[in-house]
């Protein structure tokens, strides 16, 4: 009953927003101040759980040009609306704070807090640019978006639509790896990050064909600085493609993570804490998505329907002597709609069917509604 | 029969005059802006050639500025129109294009280039 009231209230708000947008069909580009940003408010209703209303992300972006060739960009994020010391409810994160030294289009230098150049979502995650209330699972538990780290590197666009990014960054902390979320909790997030070892990350991208973006990314780094005698080197390979033609948009991504010396990592952590984290040697995930703009008359007459299949397994390959936890071999179908009362405002609704390979722990389906915007 | 010939001749004359008037106008170059790239991102023109850039966005509003030229405008959001701007490059060289409106996390990647070649060299 409570859920029905919540959904009804939400749906009414959405209808009102749409009506307001319809009433104001001005072609004005809108007014933007010195600060930009994006926000996401979510209503999540998972099976056998109470519905929750979460102001998931409140993100502000700042920029400043010292000279036309030396620029600063910052991105500050508040997650889940509220932060209190020593609690895990919310987070304040400095996701980007870098200086770009723009030398020429083919070669530029960047230093500071940077986004790791990997996958579709990590560097391109404003709510109006992806379908679904929540980001794809693969871009959450295999590629741990939003993944940001302190470091420096180069980027540029070569001829014929090829471009690249390559950075040296602080590595992951393998002591925080888990069976459920893989390497996600190992991100040091530029917070007094240990750089006894340095990781390297790179992406090569092709944007030279209308509507097409195709990329490959890699990340590699020793991640065992806290425990001597381990060789926990993490290697990530990723490939993705986006293609848009007329009303159709297709997306696909594949990511593979290899963690060397995972058996000794589990043994070391088991000896220290009494519980083995059952970290896998291999994690794997992929997804494919098709979206179709069923109403394409420009906002506020702008509606996209989509369907996505995701397969993600954080226990894909186990080290010798360890058995996989089958509830973490998961797949999901997600289908829904994104309505744009304005090109920068996205009202989303989707349904997620999630399954796993365990005969004991069942996957939970969920219904989600979201409101996201960019300004 | 005479009527048919007259219509055919009129059509040919009309087409010829339309073509000549099109040739006299600026060369039109369509550009698409989208987080975080321009397409095409590399544009080749000749010195002295009058160019009409028509820039349209696939998402939010973007800036479209060409260094060393008079081109500097705002590309309207998707479905809200096209930025049309006409210019001419008198000197050969490379003129970088950039988005001047903070458009997201990868804003600084959004760059392109206009390569201007000498008109005489181009004809050879």
Q: Which of A115, A342, A343 sits opposite B105 (nearest CB)?
A: A115
Q: Is there a contact between A105 and B60 if contact means CB atoms under 8 Å apart?
A: no
Average pLDDT, integer, range A82-111: 88
Torsional class of A29: left (φ above 0), alpha (ψ -120 to 50), beta (otherwise): alpha
- pLDDT of A89 over the 80 cut: no
Give just the sign of the alpha carbon dihedral A42, A43, A46, A50.
Answer: positive
First CA to last CA distance, chain B = 47
- Mean pLDDT (whole number) for A82-98: 83
Q: Which residues of B touch A344 (CB under 8 A)?
A: 60, 77
Interchain contact, B81 vs A27, CB within 8 Å: yes
Substitution target in A100, A343, A344, A375 with the highest count of B β-carbons within 10 Å is A343
- Check whether A171 has a pLDDT greater than 70: yes
Residues of chain B with a CB closer than 8 angstroms to some CB in chain A = 32, 35-37, 39-42, 57-61, 67, 74, 76-81, 96, 101-109, 111-113
Structure tokens at B10: 């009129």
What is the pLDDT confidence band of residue A273, given thresholds at 50, 70 and 90? confident
Alpha-carbon separation of residue B87 from A243, B27, B28, B71 (angstroms):
31, 10, 11, 7
Which position has the higher pLDDT, B122 or A283?
A283
Distance from CA of B8 to the nearest CA of A (A): 37
> Considering chain A, what is the average pLDDT of its residues?
91
- Cα A320 off chain centre by: 31
Query: According to the model, what pLDDT value does residue B23 have?
Result: 54
Q: Which of B108, B112, B115 to mutate to test the interface with A (most CBs of A within 10 A)?
A: B108
Binary contact (A298, B79; C-beta < 8 A): yes
pLDDT for B16 equals 44
> In terms of C-beta density within 10 A (0-12 exposed, 13-18 middle, 19 or more buried), how is residue A97 classed?
middle
Q: How confident is the model at residue A23 (pLDDT cuts 50, 70, 90)?
A: very low
Q: What is the mean pLDDT of residues A234-258?
A: 97
Average pLDDT, chain B: 84
Q: Stretch A173-190: mean pLDDT, rounded?
A: 94
Contact pairs from chain A to chain B, CB under 8 Å: 101
pLDDT band at A28 (very low <50, low <70, confident <90, very high): low
> In angstroms, rounded to a whole number, what is the distance separating the alpha carbons of residues A262 and A186?
14
- The number of beta carbons lying within 10 Å of the beta carbon of residue B116 is 25
Q: Which of A37, A106, A126 to mutate to test the interface with B (most CBs of B within 10 A)?
A: A126
Residue A31: which pLDDT band, with cuts at 50, 70 and 90?
low
Q: Stretch A141-158: mean pLDDT, rounded?
A: 96
Query: Which of B61, B104, B106 faces A30 most closely, judged by CB atoms?
Result: B61
Q: What is the ipTM of this complex?
A: 0.85
Q: Going by DSSP bridges, is the β-strand pair B50-57/A148-157 parallel, antiparallel, or unpaired?
A: unpaired
Where is pLDDT greater, at A360 or A42? A42
Chain B CB within 8 Å of residue A57 CB:
no
């Amino acid at each position: 009953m409570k859920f029905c009231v919540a959904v009804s209230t939400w749906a009414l708000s959405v209808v009102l927003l749409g009506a307001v947008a319809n009433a104001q069909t001005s072609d004005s580009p809108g007014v933007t101040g010195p600060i930009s940003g994006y926000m996401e408010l979510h209503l999540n209703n998972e099976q056998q759980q109470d519905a929750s209303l979460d102001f998931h992300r409140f993100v502000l972006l700042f920029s400043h040009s010292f000279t036309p060739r030396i620029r600063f960009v910052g991105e500050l994020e508040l997650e889940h609306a509220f932060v209190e010391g020593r609690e895990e409810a919310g987070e304040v994160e400095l996701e980007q704070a870098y200086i770009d030294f723009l030398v020429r289009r083919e070669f530029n230098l960047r230093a500071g807090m940077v986004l790791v150049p990997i996958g579709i979502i990590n560097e391109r995650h404003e709510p109006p640019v992806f379908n679904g209330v929540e980001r794809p699972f693969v871009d959450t538990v295999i590629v741990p978006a939003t993944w940001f780290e302190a470091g420096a590197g180069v980027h540029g666009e070569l001829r014929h639509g090829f471009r690249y990014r390559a950075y040296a960054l602080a590595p992951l902390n393998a002591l925080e790896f888990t069976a459920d979320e893989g390497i996600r909790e190992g991100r040091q997030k530029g917070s007094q990050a240990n750089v006894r070892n340095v990781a390297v990350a790179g992406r090569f991208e092709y944007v030279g064909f209308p509507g097409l973006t195709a990329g490959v990314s890699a990340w590699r780094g020793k991640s065992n600085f806290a425990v001597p005698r381990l060789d926990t080197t993490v290697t990530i390979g990723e490939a993705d493609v986006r293609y848009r033609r007329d009303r159709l948009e297709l997306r696909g991504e594949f990511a593979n993570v290899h963690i060397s010396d995972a058996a000794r990592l589990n043994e070391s952590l088991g000896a220290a804490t009494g519980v083995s984290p059952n970290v896998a040697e291999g994690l794997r995930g992929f997804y494919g998505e098709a979206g179709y703009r069923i109403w394409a008359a420009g906002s506020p007459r702008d509606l996209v329907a989509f369907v996505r299949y995701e397969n993600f397994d954080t226990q894909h390959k186990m080290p010798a002597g360890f058995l996989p936890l089958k509830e973490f071999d998961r797949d999901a179908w997600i289908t829904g709609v994104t309505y744009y009362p304005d090109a920068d405002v996205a009202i989303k609704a989707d349904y997620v069917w999630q399954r796993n390979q365990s005969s004991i722990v069942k996957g939970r389906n969920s219904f989600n509604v979201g409101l996201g915007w960019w300004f | 029969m005479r009527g048919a010939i007259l219509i055919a001749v009129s059509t040919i004359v009309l087409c010829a005059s339309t073509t000549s008037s099109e040739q006299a106008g600026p060369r039109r170059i369509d550009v698409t802006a989208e987080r975080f790239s321009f397409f095409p991102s590399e544009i080749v023109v000749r010195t002295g050639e009058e160019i009409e850039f028509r820039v349209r966005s696939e998402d939010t509003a973007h800036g479209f500025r060409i260094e060393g030229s008079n081109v500097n405008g705002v590309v309207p959001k998707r479905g809200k129109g096209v930025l049309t701007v006409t210019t001419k490059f008198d000197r050969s060289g490379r003129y970088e294009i950039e988005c001047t409106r903070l458009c997201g996390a990868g804003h600084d990647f959004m760059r392109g280039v206009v390569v201007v070649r000498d008109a005489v060299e181009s004809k050879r």
